[in-house]
Chains A and B, each alone.
Chain A
Amino acid sequence: MSGRVLVGVKRVIDYAVKIRVKPDHSGVVTEGVKHSMNPFCEIAVEEAVKMKEKKLIKEVVVVSCGPQQVQETIRTALAMGADRGIHVEVLAKDYESLGPLQVSKIMAALAKKEEAQLIILGKQAIDGDCNQTGQMTAALLDWSQGTFASEVTLEGGQVKVVREIDGGLETIKINTPAVLTADLRLNTPRYATLPNIMKAKKKKIANVKPVDLGVELTSKLEVLRVDEPPQRQAGVKVETVDDLVGKLKEAGRI
């Protein structure tokens, strides 16, 4: 067992920003907008760092795919306690079409190269909301998967995962190597403190190109159009119950 955990992190528009659609409806405005690590990825990093602090694993390697700016996100993960980073360089023009399938292929290739025993990802990114990368990565590798994890316990060569599902909580036991995806209640991520941010500047980030991993980036998906949700209409006040019933009938609701 290598004792190595791979954590994927994504740079997304900060959750507190008000999103605006570009005038040409091709996407959302990202220029000059605050970006930060996807909140579920923060939780994934925290879980890996906690495992290392408990001496259950030996090394946390953090990965991000994208143009130059994603290095900031990798640095944040290093400041939280990851040991080293891998920046998979994807040019801006290719980044537009980079989706879960491409990222999964990259993660699978890296997991093999790094001989990882666990991959921890956020359950989904707050921009795409796809919730696919973890599952696809496990399938490509033919590894077990523990998704929507709200509790993870390493037990020898296995992992006990408590999963958040519609009906409540489901507890499963899976073999390693495995892919886990972090849900909201898995942990509370630590803040990167200044001294750790300083230390992180000295940690290594390796550069890799998708072609070096044998991954082809073409996507079979094309975004046709992006629109804002419809504007909320003003309500209508009525004076009596009869008026209310009348209006509901008019609207074909009853």
Chain B
Amino acid sequence: MLSAARRLLPHVSRVVQHSSVRQEHSLKEVVSAFRSVCGEDGVSTGESVRQQHGKDESVHRCRPPDVVVFPRCVEEVSALAKICNRHNLPIIPFGTGTGLEGGVGALKGGVCFSLRKMDKVLDVHQEDFDVTVEPGVTRKALNSYLRDTGLWFPVDPGADASLCGMAATSASGTNAVHYGTMRENVLNLEVVLADGTIVHTAGKGRRPRKSVAGYNLTNLFVGSEGTLGIITKATLRLYGIPEAVVSAVCSFPSVQAAVDSTVHILQAGVPIARIEFLDDVMIDACNKFSSLSYPVMPTLFLEFHGTENSLNEQVRTTEEITSANGGADFQWALDEETRARLWKARHDAWYAGLALRPGCKAYATDVCVPLSRLPNIIVETKEDLIQNRLTGPIAGHVGDGNFHCLMVLDPDDSDEVQRVHLFTERLARRALALEGTCTGEHGVGLGKRALLREEMGPGAMGVMQSLKETLDPRNLMNPGKVL
């Protein structure tokens, strides 16, 4: 219990000390070997650089690596991995450090591979709707690069994350209901294994839209959170930039009504692009934070993509459905300025939640259940929050059955920390009991390994363990995560 509580106490830090002289010696050797691969300025043992590379945007405390290296190409990544392998040093790949589950913490020290110098967009194929990128390319940088082609990469997890990092965590986001997650949109990966072998998961340079050639290695590495290999290139599926976008907002008398509307909208075949749920606590927070005046009720934020004609139909059908479910105050807009105003609450949600209790930290839960179970789990979860005096405004990608409780907590109040921890475990188990998952999009990382075992069961865990042992027999790839 205490170690679990420590996970949520970011300021309680004990510097992990590597005190043996023998280890210091071999660190010096290794650092000079690294420098001969990626140059003098491609290696850092500076304290602030290591600190920067030991944490992400989760509540997990900083676990700095011993060294940070900055390779410039896949050959350097491979050479560095071979050196790490020879000296038994953990390897932690690092993209933008925007993860939410502590995935980049160097629990056993070791070498952080920062891939930010490999930042080229390679091979845009406009007619084939695909592009290949290196790990230093973030999703906003790619979309800016592509803007004149009429194409974009729609997976949007919020942060301006590295696309290869998004592949490693199988990122999702508000758009997934229409465009899918990374799982559906990665065609090929170039991966460096723990022993330095370079692998092309779908064959070198290949980018057919579909293939049945051999085992699906691409999707083995997607979502592996750096525990099976270092992703050095990703070939991604692109989509046409929508001709027009309409945003809408609607409030409901109950959570049930909002979720029922979501289910009906999807069943009606409306190709809705985003459908986001904010509960009354969250709306109240947003009203206070941004001086807005939404009715303080469960609310849906919707977005539609398409041609102007199809949008008219989509909006009309949706309005009928929401109104049939007791929805009120349906507002929609086509022009960018009004759309931004309508969606402001959803955009500011994280900060609005934090502002509820200044000085506190926030942790987002991340369960996902089949759609039909969503009203059930949200209602039970809200009761749990009230009973246990917890602050947990809810925001969710209801179109996927995925929602986040933004737990706002005082890290110095050990009782509250404990209550939050137990709450999140109950929530995860509630989701598992409803045929869902303990992590819809943030990943297993550091904090959900026990839940993963409960979710998967011994059979699947056994297979995962064997794969890990085969690809990384010495457990050098991001040790202590996922499994």
Q: Across the interface, do A37 and B148 meet the contact criterion of CB distance under 8 Å?
A: yes
The residues of B that contact A76 with a CB separation of less than 8 Å are 148
Contact A194/B151 with A16-B144, A34-B145 known, Cβ cut-off 8 Å: yes
Closest to A189 in B: B147
What is the distance, in angstroms, from B120's C-beta to the closest C-beta of chain A?
A: 10
Q: Across the interface, do A16 and B141 meet the contact criterion of CB distance under 8 Å?
A: yes
Q: Across the interface, do A191 and B240 meet the contact criterion of CB distance under 8 Å?
A: no
B150 is an interface residue with CB less than 8 A from chain A: yes
Q: How many residues of B contact A (CB 8 A)?
A: 14
The residues of B that contact A26 with a CB separation of less than 8 Å are none
Binding site for B on A (CB under 8 A): 14, 16, 34, 36-37, 72, 76, 79, 188, 191-197
B241 is an interface residue with CB less than 8 A from chain A: yes
Scan residues 332-385 of chain B and give those whose CB is less than 8 A from a CB of chain A. 336
B242 is an interface residue with CB less than 8 A from chain A: yes
Q: Across the interface, do A191 and B241 meet the contact criterion of CB distance under 8 Å?
A: yes
Closest to A76 in B: B148
Binding site for A on B (CB under 8 A): 141, 144-145, 147-152, 240-243, 336
The residues of B that contact A16 with a CB separation of less than 8 Å are 141, 144-145
Instruction: Identify the 8 closest CB pairs spanning chains A and B, nearest first.
Output: A194-B150, A194-B240, A197-B150, A191-B241, A193-B243, A193-B241, A76-B148, A193-B150
Which of B141, B147, B240 is the most central at the interface, judged by chain A CB atoms within 10 Å of its CB?
A: B147
What is the distance, in angstroms, from A199's C-beta to the closest C-beta of chain B?
A: 11
Q: Which of A14, A36, A188, A191 contacts B150 (CB 8 A)?
A: A191
Q: Across the interface, do A196 and B150 meet the contact criterion of CB distance under 8 Å?
A: yes
What is the distance, in angstroms, from B369's C-beta to the closest C-beta of chain A?
A: 36
Closest to A192 in B: B150
Besides the known contacts A16-B144, A36-B148, A194-B241, 5 further A-B residue pairs in the complex with CB atoms under 8 A apart: A191-B152, A192-B147, A192-B148, A194-B150, A197-B149
Q: Across the interface, do B141 and A193 meet the contact criterion of CB distance under 8 Å?
A: no
Q: List 24 A-B contacts (CB under 8 A).
A: A14-B145, A16-B141, A36-B147, A36-B148, A37-B148, A72-B148, A79-B150, A188-B336, A191-B150, A191-B152, A191-B241, A192-B148, A192-B241, A193-B150, A193-B240, A193-B242, A193-B243, A194-B150, A194-B151, A194-B240, A194-B241, A195-B240, A195-B243, A197-B150
What is the distance, in angstroms, from A233's C-beta to the closest C-beta of chain B?
A: 15
Cα distance A14–B336 in the bound complex, in angstroms: 25
Closest to B244 in A: A193
What is the distance, in angstroms, from A191's C-beta to the closest C-beta of chain B?
A: 5
Closest to A34 in B: B145
The residues of A that contact B150 with a CB separation of less than 8 Å are 79, 191-197
Cα distance A143–B194 in the bound complex, in angstroms: 68
What is the distance, in angstroms, from A70's C-beta to the closest C-beta of chain B?
A: 13
Closest to B239 in A: A194
The residues of B that contact A193 with a CB separation of less than 8 Å are 150, 240-243
Closest to B152 in A: A191
